[in-house]
Amino acid sequence: MIDIALMGHGVVGSGVAEIIINHAERINNSCKNNINIKYILDLRKFDNLPYSDKFITDFSAILEDNDIRIVVEVMGGVNPAYEFVRSCLLAGKSVVTSNKELVAAKGAELIKIARDKNVNFLFEASVGGGIPVLRPLVQCLAANEIKEINGILNGTTNYILNKMIVDNMDFETALKLAQENGYAEKNPAADIEGHDACRKVCILAALAFGKHVYPEQVSTEGITNISLDDIDYADKFNYVIKLIGSAKKLPDGKISASVRPTLVRRDNILSNVDGVFNAIMVNGDQTGDVLFYGKGAGKEATASAVVADIIDCAKHLDSRKYLYWDDGNDDYVDNNSTLKSKLYICVKSNDVSDVKSQIKKLFGDDIFIITNEFKNELAFLTNTDFEDSLYTKANQLKSITDIKILHTL
């Protein structure tokens, strides 16, 4: 029998406990051993559960119990999760976590401790919920040089945008539904302002390119500025708006990393990823594009990935799974690169015809402009060009009127 401890009994933690209990036979067969939840750490009381007797409030009971070989951290947040996880690894216990905030902030350090202690630190559930993506990225695509990753990495915002696009639902109502479904973070600002997707970009980039990327290095913008009009203009150009997380290898060995609302062309497969689903497109130099798709949030899907990691730890109690990246550094991420882009620009002006002629002068006569007379708004897509050149022109427009810029994919 292998004793494990769960730290946290929220949406994901309760899902993990239920899967371990309800799928005991399958899991135990797979591990060739019985997995026993010995403790569940949570400050709240959970009476009337079949496993209510396992709840504790004192972390030291887990740390000091030598029978506990695997600890599952599903509390979320950096503190106190970081101290707890670090102490468990230092004590020679393997740790499984779904905590993307923790891995994005402290991953390099925690992986190093796990390596030194010859234990495992696994976090498949931290990116893409129930989608197997980290393991395949590291193992199945190991022969590739990864060129770029683009993905829909946040279920809540994808759900909200989809409701706005398909049902014309307003932002607040859609967010409330996402919360009721258990998709949103405790503080949904992390979802709608892009921080959750940013943390996932950090983890994917670290695994793909070998160096820690810190959240503050990722250029991050959420979806709170996206209006139903933007969605409508995008539709007229044959695009949909998605929150896209992206990491690209640059020719000089640095990377670019961003999270931003992006117009995705309808013939791009990512444009069809709806609701709480996530999709991560990885481009390898040997495979070309590989797509990972599935439920990116929610109790069962996320718990499924956590339990798979527990099984993996149980099968490798005395050997290490290879997951590693180096510390990052300040100038590793360069978001001012000279990549080529095509921008969506929405302009507000009381003098629509004057602005129209300015747009044509700056961006070319062939630019197709949508005019919304009722709102004094114009929207257009630029031709593809170097980003710095497009931004120089956009800034000239900005000097005379209000503009909103979005990238395209």
The verdict on whether 200 is a catalytic residue reads yes
CB of 164 to ligand HSE, least distance (A): 16
Closest residue to ligand HSE: CB criterion:
156
Name the residue nearer to ligand HSE (CB basis): 169 or 403: 169
Q: Which of 93, 200, 211, 248 is catalytic?
A: 200
73 binds ligand HSE (CB under 6 A): no
* Alpha-carbon span 152 to 260, nearest angstrom: 10
What's the burial of 254, exposed, middle or buried (CB within 10 Å: 0-12/13-18/19+)? middle
Name the residue nearer to ligand HSE (CB basis): 93 or 100: 100
Q: How many residues bind ligand HSE (CB under 6 A)?
A: 11
Quick one: which segment of 32-40, 81-89, 154-162, 378-386 binds ligand HSE (CB under 6 A)?
A: 154-162
Quick one: which segment of 17-25, 143-151, 180-188, 343-351 binds ligand HSE (CB under 6 A)?
A: 180-188
Cα-based distances in Å from 172 to 164, 177, 226, 257, 295: 10, 9, 13, 28, 22
Cα-based distances in Å from 116 to 112, 135, 320: 6, 21, 10
List 101, 191, 312, 387, residue binding ligand HSE (CB under 6 A): 191
183 binds ligand HSE (CB under 6 A): yes
Name the residue nearer to ligand HSE (CB basis): 261 or 284: 261
- Buried b / exposed e over 108-118, threshold 16 CB at 10 Å, is bebbbbbbebe
Name the residue nearer to ligand HSE (CB basis): 191 or 387: 191
Instruction: Name the 3-class secondary structure at 26.
Output: helix
* Alpha-carbon span 390 to 370, nearest angstrom: 19
CB of 15 to ligand HSE, least distance (A): 12
* Alpha-carbon span 223 to 157, nearest angstrom: 7
What's the burial of 268, exposed, middle or buried (CB within 10 Å: 0-12/13-18/19+)? middle
Q: Which of 242, 248, 308 minimizes the C-alpha distance to 283?
A: 248
* Alpha-carbon span 266 to 53, nearest angstrom: 52
Site string for ligand HSE, 104-143 (x = CB under 6 A): -------------------------x--------------
Which H or E run contains 195? helix 195-209
Quick one: which segment of 34-42, 135-143, 153-161, 361-369 binds ligand HSE (CB under 6 A)?
A: 153-161
Q: Enumerate binding residues for ligand HSE (CB under 6 A).
A: 129, 154-156, 183-185, 191, 196, 296-297
The catalytic site residues sit at 200
